[in-house]
Amino acid sequence: MAICWDDYAVHGLHDELIQAPGRPRPGAEALCAYLASLDEEALGVRIASAESLIRLMGISFRVYGEDGGSIDRHWPYDL
C-alpha cells in the first residue's frame, strides 16, 4: 500500500512535512511525490535501511528513570 497523503491527518498538531488537509508544505512537494510513488516493498526497503543505519551509527538518546537508572534507546524512525 503506497502512501496516500489525502488520508494523512495531522490532528491539530504541527507537522513539518504535511499541512492539513494532506497537502505538502512549500518545498516538500517533490519529496512527498517521490514517497507516494514508492510501492509497499520499495518503501519497506528504505525504512529498513534507515533503521539499520540509525543503529549502525549509534544514534540514540538516554531515558532516565525515577530510580536514578537510565537506558539508551535508538532514535525512533517513523515514515
Name the pLDDT band for 12 (thresholds 50, 70, 90): confident
What stretches of 1-79 show up as alpha helix (H) in DSSP? Answer: 29-37, 40-57
- The Cα-based distances of 32 to 12, 27, 65, 68, 69 in angstroms read 20, 10, 38, 42, 41
Residue 1 pLDDT > 70: no
Structural domain of 23: 5-74
Identify the H or E element spanning 60.
strand 60-64
In-domain check, residue 31: yes
Read off the pLDDT of residues 28-50 as tens digits, 9 standing for 90 and up.
Answer: 999 999 998 999 999 999 999 99
- pTM confidence score: 0.67
Q: What number is the average pLDDT over the span 48-77? A: 88
In-domain check, residue 33: yes
Q: What number is the average pLDDT over the span 21-26? A: 86
Number of domains in the chain: 1
In-domain check, residue 79: no
